[in-house]
Amino acid sequence: MPELPEVETVRRTLERQILNKTITDVKVYYERMLENCTKEDFISTLKGKTIKKIDRYGKYLIFIFDDCSLISHLRMEGKFFIKSLDAPKEKHEHIVFTLDNNISFRYHDTRKFGRMALLNTIDKTQIMKYPALAKLGKEANDETFTEQELLNKLSKKNIFIKTALLDQEIICGLGNIYVDEVCFMSKLNPFTLTKEITIKDAESILESSRIVLAKAIQAGGTTIRSYTSSLGVTGLFQLELLVHSKENEPCPVCKTPIVKTKVGGRGTYYCPRCQTLPNKKVIGITGSIATGKTTVTTYLKEKGYLVLDADEIVKEEKKPNKLIYKALINKFDRKILNSNNEIDDKKLAQFIYESEHNRQIINKIIHPIVYDVLEDEIVKAPHGLIFVSVPLMFEAHFDSLCQKIICVKTSDDVQINRLMNRNNLTLEEAKKRIDAHMTQEEKCQKSDYIIDNSKELCYTIEQVNEIIRKEE
């Protein structure tokens, strides 16, 4: 969808090409685009009218004529084309204006979502009373928009900040692309609730909005997917985007991979390290197989801390008709089920460790589901320390959810013995499973804290308590 900078680019381009031109003919091929008049009234009113001014408010274009005005909202796919009179009409050109300089001015919309409305006034104050415009908030780059005004609007809601900034009644002109950029520049997690926004946050939102929109307008907007200005101008601001559309690319500030998620059904990009949730600290717990991660998480639970466990999520989602269950059955049919139509963990494990190819297939199914569940649980969690236990923390890039990482390690002998006893494996089978993953040394190097779990329990607990003291 074209956002404020793209619509402003269209306005400026049209202004250079059709200002002071007179409409000599109008053809309407899809009448439902006309919001408040019939096709006949639309044509008879605009024939003979001269385009005196082209204005914009938010994502609306406003064409000012001699004694009336036309409001146009491009919606998802609306575009204006300027063509020669003899250019053949294309399928999705729904309204065509002929101008007195022998060119045609055409509205093109593949989805037919765009709307136009005629008003019998040229007074800006009266135009702004039109219902679609009257309900809009101040523009994001309006210098008269104060942080207190914005905070007052946000404090009346209890929704995610990403959703709020997309609400044109709260702040006008920002769309999905630029909200992601504004949230990043303001260091706000898109899942931050509006009731948690401070006056400093509101100030940062407005300042960032003005910077982003000014740069985007100067660059001609952003050309992503199907949108271009269609008037010989291709936006270049996509070359300056910091996070939007940058999934898995390094954050320009901290180098953490940019995460793509969904907020209110909208694709959302952010840096999980730079844009943390307020008053929450997420600490990851990882370690190689059979190093004693459960010992640490059990103690943390006993201490009253929230511990989100990836293994528990997998266990839950493998139950019949849950997400992982459905995905695995869809991929492997019923080969991995037992006689009770439940996933057989032994069959699944055998399949996983049979080859690297199999392991990658399983991981591509399981990891995205677990990531989404963890992300949702972190958002819903109360303030304070939140611990997230993920065995494949680094391999599956779950470290992007965390601000700090704890690695639990033990001696090689202890690890092998634990795994053999716990899973009833031979020495060869145990070594094969250990070798299939990142080494303990690699995990330790990537972590912020290391817990040595090769000694007595009291020694492990002492190390956990020391980390808690540092992080609380």
Q: What is the CATH number of the domain that holds 466?
A: 3.40.50.300
Domain count, the chain: 3
**CA dihedral of residues 353, 356, 357, 363 (deg, nearest 10):** 70
Asked if residue 185 is part of any domain, the answer here is: yes
Q: What is the pLDDT of residue 231?
A: 52
Residues 154 and 123 in one domain: no
Residues 95 and 230 in one domain: no
- The rounded Cα 10 to chain-centroid distance in angstroms is 26
Q: What is the pLDDT of residue 349?
A: 81
Residues 236 and 293 in one domain: no
* CA neighbours closer than 13 Å in the CB half-sphere of residue 306: 16
Q: What is the CATH number of the domain that holds 100?
A: 3.20.190.10
Q: What is the pLDDT of residue 264?
A: 84
Active-site amino acid positions: 2-3, 59, 266
Residue 26 β-bridge partners: 97
Q: What is the pLDDT of residue 1?
A: 63
Residues 341 and 423 in one domain: yes
Residues 413 and 442 in one domain: yes
Residues 303 and 249 in one domain: no
Structure tokens at 211: 């910077």
Residues 152 and 72 in one domain: no
User: What CA–CA distance (Å, rounded) separates 130 from 114?
Assistant: 17
Q: Are 388 and 398 in contact (CB under 8 A)?
A: yes
Q: Which residue has the tokens 């008053």?
A: 279
Whole-angstrom CA distances from 34 to 2, 91, 119, 249, 412 are: 20, 18, 12, 43, 74
Q: Are 166 and 199 in contact (CB under 8 A)?
A: no
In the predicted model, residues of the chain with pLDDT beneath 70 are 1, 220-239
Asked if residue 139 is part of any domain, the answer here is: no
Residues 420 and 300 in one domain: yes
End-to-end, the C-alpha distance of the chain in Å comes to 43
Residue 84 in 3-state DSSP?
strand
Q: What is the CB neighbour count within 10 angstroms for residue 306? A: 17
Residue 119 β-bridge partners: 69
Q: What is the pLDDT of residue 226?
A: 38
Last residue of a domain, one of 228, 258, 288: 258
Q: What is the pLDDT of residue 224?
A: 43
Residues 423 and 358 in one domain: yes
Q: What is the pLDDT of residue 413?
A: 93
Q: Are 413 and 430 in contact (CB under 8 A)?
A: no
Residues 68 and 119 in one domain: yes
Reduce the secondary structure of 319-382 to three states and give it as a string: CCCCHHHHHHHHHHCCCCECCCCCECHHHHHHHHCCCHHHHHHHHHHHHHHHHHHHHHHHHHCC
Q: Are 390 and 286 in contact (CB under 8 A)?
A: yes
pTM of the entire structure? Answer: 0.71
Asked if residue 266 is part of any domain, the answer here is: no
Geometric angle at alpha carbon 75, from 71 and 81, rounded to 5°: 75
Q: What is the pLDDT of residue 350?
A: 81
Q: What is the pLDDT of residue 239?
A: 62
Phi-psi region of 245 (alpha: psi -120 to 50; beta: other; left: phi over 0): left
The bridge status of strand 93-99 relative to strand 23-28 is antiparallel
Q: What is the pLDDT of residue 228?
A: 42
> Which of 119, 129, 86 is closest to 104 using CA atoms?
86
Last residue of a domain, one of 81, 110, 134: 134
Residues 313 and 439 in one domain: yes
Domain that includes residue 329, residue range: 280-471
> Which of 169, 143, 138, 175 is closest to 156 using CA atoms?
169
Asked if residue 123 is part of any domain, the answer here is: yes
Residues 242 and 307 in one domain: no
Geometric angle at alpha carbon 395, from 392 and 400, rounded to 5°: 90
Which residues, in sequence order, are CB contacts of 231 under 8 Å at separation 6+?
A: 10, 13, 14, 17, 80, 81, 82
